């Protein structure tokens, strides 16, 4: 507005001031709506595990409940509690990122080494399903300037998904590449794939592909939203390609320095 003082007369300026005030108000209202939408979705997601735990508590009180049933019900409570815990920590992560309350702690680090570390974390769960993990490492090793904790969270999310949505005896291939203005890392799996008609939604909060294949695997639908937010905060991009029943490849592109 100050710059405009020479170009506009007083009435125009007053009108502009009113309009910019209204625009600011509209932006704030949108932000509040988005927040309350997100909370409404969270409450909706909390309902299923809570109902399930409540029902189990009721079933456990029956005098006829046998030992085997008691153990199976207790196991379900454990799974549902884990789901609540994953949901609340992912929700908090995303809410903080969306509120712009997570700064970037930029450091130069060895990306290749970090990928190796992340692979070691997911290797036991991959081995449980006889999934082979292949890292196409590069020499010299790649370094980036980024927030190491956040990039690790992204890599772990993508690798965890590559195990979770894979098939027994499947394969995960991790490749890294130096690019024109940065680096890229791709995680490919030989799993269930993503139906093309749903692929536009998978970065949306709480979105999970519909169908038995996905429903039978535990998840919150928040992991990819967190990844997208983190990578975009670094000035990078995340993309994927997928073929139903054949597998998916998720790729992150990071600029040389965020
Ligand atoms: P979730 O906790 O459900 O895994 P994400 O946000 O990580 O949540 O992923 C959103 C949805 O995208 C998943 O529920 C799944 O339907 C689909 N998806 C993500 N990664 C893969 C993959 N590697 N293969 C197939 N489907 C995937």
What ipTM is given for this predicted complex? 0.99
With CA atoms as reference, report the closest residue to 153 among 208, 197, 104: 104
Cβ 162 under 6 angstroms from ligand 1: yes
More confident residue, 202 or 34: 202
Cα–Cα separations (whole angstroms), residue 243 to 94, 202, 220: 28, 14, 22
pLDDT of residue 6: 59
Which residue puts its alpha carbon closest to atom 16 of ligand 1?
209
Beta-strand (E) ranges in 148-236? Answer: 171-179, 182-189
Q: Which of 161, 187, 251 to mutate to test the pocket of ligand 1 (most atoms within 8 A of CB)?
A: 161
Cβ 182 under 6 angstroms from ligand 1: no
Distance CA 191, CA 170 (A): 7
Cα–Cα separations (whole angstroms), residue 109 to 54, 102, 113, 168, 186: 47, 19, 9, 34, 18
Q: Per the omega criterion (within 30 degrees of 0), is the bond before 140 cis?
A: yes
Percentage, residues of the chain above pLDDT 90: 72
What is the mean pLDDT of the segment spanning 103-128?
Answer: 96
What is the mean pLDDT of the segment spanning 185-196?
Answer: 97
pLDDT of residue 124: 97
Give the Cβ contact number of residue 239 at 10 Å.
14
Instruction: Find the 208 Cα to ligand 1 centroid distance in Å.
Output: 6
Which residue puts its alpha carbon closest to atom 14 of ligand 1?
208
pLDDT of residue 141: 85
- The per-residue pLDDT of the chain, averaged, comes to 90
pLDDT for 7 beyond 70 = no
pLDDT for 258 beyond 70 = no
Cβ 209 under 6 angstroms from ligand 1: yes
């Amino acid at each position: 507005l100050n710059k405009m003082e020479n170009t506009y007369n007083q009435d125009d300026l007053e009108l502009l001031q009113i309009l910019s005030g209204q625009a600011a108000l509209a932006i704030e209202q949108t932000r509040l709506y988005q927040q309350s939408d997100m909370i409404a979705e969270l409450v909706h997601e909390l309902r299923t595990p809570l109902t399930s735990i409540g029902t189990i508590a009721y079933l456990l009180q029956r005098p006829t409940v046998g030992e085997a049933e008691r153990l199976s019900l207790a196991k379900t409570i454990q799974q549902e509690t884990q789901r609540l815990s994953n949901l609340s920590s992912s929700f908090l992560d995303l809410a903080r990122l969306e509120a712009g309350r997570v700064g970037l702690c930029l450091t130069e680090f060895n990306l290749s080494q970090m990928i190796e570390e992340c692979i070691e974390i997911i290797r036991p769960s991959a081995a449980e399903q006889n999934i082979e993990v292949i890292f196409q490492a590069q020499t010299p090793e790649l370094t980036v300037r980024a927030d190491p904790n956040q990039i690790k969270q992204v890599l772990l999310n993508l690798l965890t998904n590559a195990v979770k949505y894979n098939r027994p005896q499947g394969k995960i291939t991790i490749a890294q590449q130096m690019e024109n203005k940065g680096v890229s890392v791709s995680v490919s799996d030989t799993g269930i794939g993503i139906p093309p008609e749903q692929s536009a939604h998978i970065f949306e909060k709480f979105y999970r592909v519909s169908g038995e294949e996905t429903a039978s695997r535990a998840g919150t639908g928040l992991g990819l939203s967190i990844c997208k937010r983190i990578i975009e905060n670094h000035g990078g991009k995340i993309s994927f390609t997928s073929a139903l029943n054949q597998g998916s490849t998720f790729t992150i592109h990071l600029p040389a320095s965020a």
